[in-house]
Amino acid sequence: MRWELAPLITGLAACSFSVLPSAAPGDAAVADAIEGTPSTKRRVKLTFRNSTRDVALDDFAALVVIDATKIDYGLTAPDGDDLRFFDRDGTPLDFEIDEWDPAGTSCVWVRVPRIDASSDTDFIYMHYGDPALAAAENPAAVWSTHTAVWHLAQDPGPGGLGDIKDSSPAGRHGTATAAMTSADLVSTVIGKGLHFVGTAGTGVTAAAVALPTYTWSTWIRGETAPVTGSAIHQPLSNGDLNFVLSWDHNQAVFTGSAAQRDMSTWHGVSPGPLAAMTWYFVTSTYDGTSLCIYVDGGNGSCTPSGMPLAPTGALSLGLVTNNTAAFKGWMDEVRISSMVVSAKRNNAEYANQRASAALPFVVFDAPEILP
């Protein structure tokens, strides 16, 4: 999200219109012949590929990745203020611009009410090119089912209070420690993210939340593979006891694992070995009986566990709870929810966020010219 820290809701009424088929972004001559003046307004059909999953994706925050092959940046307003999204019936859709770069790639999250199960034909529309429109982002609506969503796209130096913005309705904004600098904001998987250098006291803290059930996810890349016996390095910790992602640990069961503590003991579950210098999409869920971890949209591993205890400290990224040791690596897109995401939905989130040109989750049609 482009928070206005320094130089980063409304919907449009549905209307009927006729469009010219398969028009190119710069093909204003046809509109000129019809209207007398060139039209800058464009509509693009976005189709979702969900045929491999027999589950509908309700209230799905879809990542729409835009570049000059998909949009005519020359027709867009500064900062993408004229961008709009609509369901097939004309209903305006909530969205958040994570990053807007007219010279490169832009990342936008759109809340889609439903993507049909086993379908490669469900679609929405993206509109742009209307100079009369003002900005209409609504991040809190996009992430209304979440407890925290950190895109980690803000400058962490010099550690201003609440600088690391939470896009969820909770507004659980994080604070980078004084040891972090502007150089720690780097390009990652989806726009910008944070690099943690691994020195003591380097990371981000925010208010923890007690969650009896949950899902958390993040993109993570360690400078070294997880190691047993060296120290305890936790890229993600919800007040230590409620849930934890451990990278290095003194006990093998918690190395490269998701963990939580119930009334009796600690429980940990590992997805298997994790390599150095490799991006992973890691998700963990707890449904009241089983603690699970998933990597890159896979089937996951689970272990029985009682209800996690309430957090005893701050929620932290890159830090252990006492701030004495830190994770060395990169993180992006940290999400926390009280809802339990299914393995198939988690697979769809991975497919959407890690989509390639050869295997896209969102397929763009050619732009249509609107009158």
pLDDT confidence of residue 19? 28
Evaluate whether 177 touches 160 at the Cβ level (below 8 Å).
no
76 and 130 belong to one structural domain: yes
* Same-domain status, 161 and 239: yes
CA 88/CA 109 separation, integer angstroms: 17
Q: Are residues 152 and 107 in the same domain?
A: no
Place of tokens 């994570």: 98
Task: Note whether 334 and 361 are same-domain residues.
Answer: no
Within-domain flag for 8: no
Other beta carbons less than 10 A from residue 338's beta carbon = 14
Is residue 343 one of the residues assigned to a domain?
Answer: no
Of 53, 99, 214, 97, nearest to 148 by C-alpha is 214
Q: State whether 196 and 316 are in the same domain.
A: yes
The CB density around residue 132, as the number of other CB atoms within 10 Å, is 7
- Rounded to the nearest angstrom, the gap between the alpha carbon of residue 203 and the centroid of all alpha carbons in its chain is 19
Query: For residues 87 and 34, is the Cβ–Cβ distance under 8 A?
Result: no
Question: Is the pTM for the entire model greater than 0.75?
Answer: yes
Q: What is the pLDDT of residue 325?
A: 67
Residue 9 maps to a domain: no
Task: Tell whether 177 and 258 lie within a shared domain.
Answer: yes
223 in the same domain as 280: yes
The answer on 62 and 178 residing in a single domain is no
Concatenating the DSSP letter of every residue in 274-332 gives: --TT--EEEEEEE-SSEEEEEETT---EEEE--PPPPPSS-EEESB-TTSSSB-EEEEE
Is 284 contained in some domain? yes
Residue 19 located in a structural domain: no
3-state secondary structure of 45: strand
With H, G, I as helix, E, B as strand and everything else as coil, classify residue 165.
coil
* Cross-strand pairs, 261: 266
Alpha helices in 58-176 (DSSP H): 139-142
| Terminal CA-CA length for the chain | 31
Taking the C-alpha atoms of residue 308 and residue 180, their distance in angstroms, rounded to an integer, is 31
Instruction: Give a yes or no: residue 12 inside a domain.
Output: no
Q: By the 8 A CB rule, do 320 and 314 touch?
A: no
Which pLDDT tens digits describe the chain residue by residue (371 residues)? 444 333 332 332 222 222 223 333 444 333 343 446 789 999 999 999 999 999 999 999 999 999 999 999 999 999 999 999 999 999 999 999 999 999 999 999 999 999 999 999 999 999 999 999 999 999 999 999 999 999 999 999 977 899 999 999 999 999 999 999 999 999 999 999 999 999 888 999 999 999 999 999 999 999 999 999 978 899 999 999 999 999 999 999 999 999 999 999 999 999 999 999 999 999 999 999 999 999 999 999 999 999 999 999 999 999 876 666 689 999 999 999 999 999 999 999 999 999 887 899 999 999 999 99
Domain containing residue 319: CATH number: 2.60.120.200
Show the domain range for 158. Answer: 148-338
CA 354, 367, 95, 15 torsion-angle sign: negative
Do 164 and 65 share a structural domain? Answer: no
Calculated CA dihedral for residues 365, 113, 217, 214, nearest 10 degrees? -170
Residue 183: how many other CB atoms lie within 10 Å: 11
Q: Which two tokens stand for residue 359?
A: 């295997």
The DSSP bridge partners found for residue 107 are 65, 99
Closest Cα to residue 300, out of 240, 355, 358, 340? 340
Asked if residue 140 lies in contact with residue 150, where contact means CB atoms within 8 angstroms, the answer is: no
Q: Are 271 and 286 in contact (CB under 8 A)?
A: no
Q: Which two tokens stand for residue 113?
A: 């009410």
What local confidence, expressed as pLDDT, does residue 324 receive? 64
Specify the DSSP element, H or E, that contains 31.
helix 28-35
Does 320 share its domain with 190?
yes
Q: Is there a domain that residue 16 lies in? A: no
**Length of the chain in residues, anyone?**
371
Contact by Cβ (8 Å): 238, 211: yes
Of residues 102, 124, 130, 121, the one with CA closest to residue 112? 124
Residues 152 and 134 in one domain: no
Q: Does some domain include residue 20? A: no
Predicted local confidence at residue 158, as pLDDT: 77
d(CA 277, CA 252): 21
C-alpha distances (whole Å) from 369 to each of 21, 22, 81, 338, 358 are: 8, 9, 19, 42, 27
Does the CA dihedral 240-244-249-253 come out positive or negative? positive
Give the angle subtended at the CA of 207 by the CAs of 205 and 208, to the nearest 5°: 105
Q: For residues 130 and 161, state if they share a domain.
A: no
The total domain count for the chain is 2
